[in-house]
Structures are given as structure tokens and as C-alpha cells.
Amino acid sequence: MKHLSNLIGCLALSASAVANASIFPDPQVLLTHYLQGKPTNGNPSLEASMGYFKHHDAALREMLNSGSADIARIVTGASYCFAAVASKPPASQLPKLYSQDGQCNEVNTAQAQRSWYYTDAQCTTAIEYKNESNTEFCLREFDYKAQRYGSSKDLNFVQDAWMPGYTATLPITTKPQDFAEIPLVQRTTYKTTFNERGTCHLEMRVYKNANNHNATPIMMIHGGGWLERLNTARTAEAQLAQFTDAGFVVYMPYYRLVEDREAGPACNQVNIEDSKQDIRDAFLWVQANNVNYTTSNKSVRITGQSAGGHMAVWLSQQFPNKVDKIAPMFPVADFAHQLKEVQDGTYVHGYIERMIAILSGKAHWQDLTGNEPVVVNNSLLQAIEQAPTQAPEMFISHGMADTIVSPSQSLRLCNSLAGNIATGPAQANTLVFEKQYAQVQCRDGSELHLLEKAEHHFDGCGLGLCDVGGPDGLVATQALMTNMIEWLK
């Protein structure tokens, strides 16, 4: 039990580092409350987290007996569950729904049973809508094994009803959550794959405000180094209410992963090209289904973080005539140069070293020559440099204190848009920061935005990576996120 106390203590420290830490309970107290069978006294957050523990009771007690470190994942899930329920926006921010029984009457959206409703007071636009219990929400969104999150297996190949998109309102974003309406989310399957380990159901989530029928389409690609999805995707998804409030309909796909730590046996142990093919198929799904969600004639914008930023650039090269605007965030767009920096010692950080080795199937990054297919196929800048006018407009962003992906990746991406990777306008020794924010014009319509002291995933605090450089850095980061959303319109 002493080992468990140490684990929980670490979790308490990590929880205290995230945004709005006051909503995250002390994990040790939460677990003790459950194990002692204390009452919840009608507290919705406590009821949900206790329901989460109860669902996982057998696994929880086995881990307690064995001293397994996996107990940390369950307790983290319960802590997030408590925080998510505690920070739910008020029901007044839910969209209005109506039913028709002789006349069009407003219903209580928060209490609505699964059925068909209208989103307008004239009862002309109908949607299927449902609510779910707090515990049901937590079990899917904070699944400690990360096998339900991003999987549409439970839908049995049909799309779900619309429901409140509370994951998009989690207060774990650097830019404070400020929106007029809770977006609705619909879950569906965009792709199913089969292998000897089972069937992988890849989920697409669509977020939109109920009555925005002319929303600008955008696809958000989560990061995680092609190795994981739960934490990185959650951080990405928490941004989405800011997009829907700004007039977007957001498509968020999940894809297969290289390692077996998350997603489930049928959806992992693939190679990076399989993951990229999933994202290509997701984009084709969006192209085919976009008309069902918006009447906008704007092209589908693409944004993504880290590995997702890489795939945003790659996807724009796959469909040069269909993609006009992308916003890659701290992307690892040039594997060859990232490997070079690792090997010559100019960028020495463990995550990127391990990631490149794992993706290439090598035991260690020192075993790489640079000629491996994973390196060659994922070095994207030379193609842009040779034909920069064929690349879409880009809003590139990066933190200069990034210890996961080298900032030079974004500087060189900007330079490739100018037609010269080596001598383009983004040079580290000429950057001028004003209150920790610098902007570089890469070419007409394309911009590089840099944060002087920000880490990786400066957009959110769900990973505990919240150090953006003090008050000035916080203001700069919030301004960057606002600028990006406006630019993407």
C-alpha cells in the first residue's frame, strides 16, 4: 500500500499542475472515499467518479492486491471524471430543442429522452438527440485502457444520436473556455479494418452548433507520436467548443496506432503508413459526408498537433487541389532533419529519440542510417521547397522551448514555403519576440507563429505541460490560439 500511496501522490502533483486545478480532487481522497464506501450525498461529480470506480471494481482490487502501477491510470480516469462533471457548463448553454404535438413547443434539452427533435421554433429541422448519464460519459471518455475512447464498436456500424459535446468544454485549455453554446457531437464509424487480432472500428466525431447550417468545415487530427491517443486527443478535443463557437463544424477522426499501449489489440501494432492511410480515408469520408453537416462551399481546413501536424502537411500533399488552408501545430514534418539533430546532438530529448526508433522498428535511434523508409517517406519539406506554390496556405505554430519536437521543424517548414529551406525568412538567429510572441511571413498567405518560452502542447494542460513562460507567455499563447482560429475561417 505504501507503493500505491507514492503513485497517488505523484498523481496529486500532476493534477495540481493542470489548468483550473481546483476542480481536480486529490486522487488519494477520491480512491479512499470509494474503498470505504462513503456516501456521495447527491454530489453529481462524486457520484460519477464512484460509478467509474464501481464499473472497474474487479480490475481496481486486483491492481491494489498486486501493487500494479496501472492503478494510476484508473485513478487518473476517476479524477478526470470528477473534474469533467464538476466543470460542465450550465444547461442554459445547451441548444434549444422543440417537439411537435399540434404545435411546436420547446422541451427541456437537459432532460430530453432519446428521440427526434427539432432545432428551430418552426419545427422544420429535425435531429435525433439523446442525453447520457455522467457515469456513461466518463466510462467512454476516460477509459483507463484507452480502448473505448476513439472506438465506435458500440455503435454497431450505425451513427449515434447527437448529444452534448462535454469533452469539447473541458477546462484544460490554455485559452480559457469561452463559448455561447455547448456544441453537439455525433459519433460514427468512418472505417473498419480486420486482422487476426480482431476488428478495429475507427470513430469519427462531428462537432457543431445545432443551428449553424453553413459552418466552415475543419478536420482536427490528434497527436501522440502515432503511439497513443488518450491524453493527446483529449487535449485536442477540449479546443473544439472554441472552433464551433467561431462558426466551424469539426471532424475529429481516430486512427490505428503503432504500439500496443492503447486503442486495443485490433487497432494497434500497425506501421505509421497504416495510420496515415486511416487519416487519408478519414479525409475522404469528410469529403463524401460534409454535405450532410453544412451547406458551406468552403474547402475542408485541416489542423493537427505534433504527429497530427505532420499528417496535416502530408494530407495536403495527397489532395493538393482540395486543401486550401492548414494549421500544423508543432509538427514533426521532416523526419530526416529531426534524426540529424538527434544524432549530431543539437536536439537531445528522449521522447523524439524513442519515437523515431519505435516507428522505424529499430531498438535504438543510433541504429538508424536515415535511409529507412519511415525516414524517407516522412520527410515532407523537399517536395514543398521544389513546388511551394502547390502547397496550401499554412498557419504554423511552435513553442521554442519544445522538448518533444524540435522548433527547427516549423522554421524549416516555413522556409520551404518560401522556396528555400536553408535561407528562407525563418532563421532562429533573427527572430524578434515581443512579449514572447514572434511572427514570420513565410510567403503570401502563410505565417509562422512562435512562442519564446512555450513547451510542446502549449494549447492545453491536459498533459501537465502548461509552462508557457509566465504571464506574458500565457497572454501570447492565448493570442496565438485566437489568431489561428480566425485565420482558419
Tell me the per-residue pLDDT of 380-428, one tens digit each, with 9 for 90 and over. 999 999 999 999 999 999 999 999 999 999 999 999 999 999 999 999 9
User: What is the model's pTM?
Assistant: 0.93
Q: How confident is the model at residue 467 (pLDDT cuts 50, 70, 90)?
A: confident
pLDDT of residue 1: 37
User: What is the tally of helices (H) and strands (E) in the chain?
Assistant: 16, 14
| Strands 325-329 and 301-305, sheet pairing | parallel
DSSP 146-164: SSSTTB-GGGTTSPPPBEE
Tell me the per-residue pLDDT of 72-111, one tens digit each, with 9 for 90 and over. 999 999 999 999 999 999 999 999 999 998 899 999 999 9
Q: How confident is the model at residue 461 (pLDDT cuts 50, 70, 90)?
A: confident
Determine the angle formed by the axes of helices 134-141 and 44-55, rounding to 10 degrees. 50
Q: If you ran DSSP here, which 8-state letter would residue 387 be given?
A: S
Q: Cα-flanking dihedrals φ and ψ of residue 232, to 5°?
A: -70, -40
Mean per-residue pLDDT, 142-154: 93
Domains and CATH numbers, the chain: 2-86 (no CATH), 145-488 (3.40.50.1820)
Whether 69 shows a pLDDT value over 80: the answer reads yes
Sheet harboring 301-305: ordered strands across?
Answer: 163-164, 184-195, 198-208, 248-253, 216-221, 301-305, 325-329, 393-399, 446-451, 437-443
